[in-house]
């Protein structure tokens, strides 16, 4: 079992829709969580960083963490065609040096 499992998608939504991207993790020692956006042939770009259960909002993006269920989500409101990308969840912890472990990514397409 992978330490971080991510809904693989792909996901296709119309412009303006609310998008929900989800990951589960197995190692309860994971302490910090990040969401990245990756455009084709580019490096991942950090969107959100959170370390506590609950919601964290940044513009159209909301990261949600439920440590009791080992479940993390990213919500995108009012999705735009420019949001079309691969979204990666990443968890930090589980070791003394803070290993950063990624899910396999979800491909999102927002069509006009």
Partner 1 sequence: EAEVAQSPRYKITEKSQAVAFWCDPISGHATLYWYRQILGQGPELLVQFQDESVVDDSQLPKDRFSAERLKGVDSTLKIQPAELGDSAMYLCASSFRMNTEAFFGQGTRLTVV
Chain contacts with partner 1 (rule: CB under 8 A): 4, 6, 31-32, 34, 36, 41-46, 49, 88, 90, 92-93, 95, 97-105
Our CB check for partner 1 shows the closer of 65 and 90 to be 90
State the number of CA atoms in the 13 A half-sphere of 81 facing the CB.
2
Our CB check for partner 1 shows the closer of 17 and 67 to be 67
Long-range Cβ contacts of 56-64 (<8 Å, 24+ apart): 61/35, 63/33, 63/35
Contact (CB, 8 A) for 37 and 44: yes
Q: How far is the CB of 100 from partner 1 (least distance, A)?
A: 6
Q: How far is the CB of 66 from partner 1 (least distance, A)?
A: 20
Q: How far is the CB of 15 from partner 1 (least distance, A)?
A: 25
- Give me the residue label for tokens 């998608």: 9
Q: How far is the CB of 16 from partner 1 (least distance, A)?
A: 28
Our CB check for partner 1 shows the closer of 74 and 105 to be 105
Our CB check for partner 1 shows the closer of 31 and 62 to be 31
Q: What share of the chain is helix, strand, coil (3-state, %, to 5)?
A: 5, 55, 40
- Kindly report the number of other CB atoms within 10 A of residue 16's CB atom: 11
């Amino acid at each position: 079992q992978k330490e971080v499992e991510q809904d693989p998608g792909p996901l296709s939504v119309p412009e303006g829709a609310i998008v929900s991207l989800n990951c589960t993790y197995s190692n309860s020692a994971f302490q910090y969580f990040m969401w990245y956006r990756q455009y084709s042939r580019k490096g991942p770009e950090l969107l959100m960083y959170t370390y506590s259960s609950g919601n964290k909002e940044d513009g159209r993006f909301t990261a949600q963490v439920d440590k009791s269920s080992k479940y993390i989500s990213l919500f995108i409101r009012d999705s735009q065609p420019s949001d079309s990308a691969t979204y990666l969840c990443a968890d930090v912890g589980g070791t003394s040096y803070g290993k950063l472990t990624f899910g396999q990514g979800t491909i999102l397409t927002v069509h006009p």
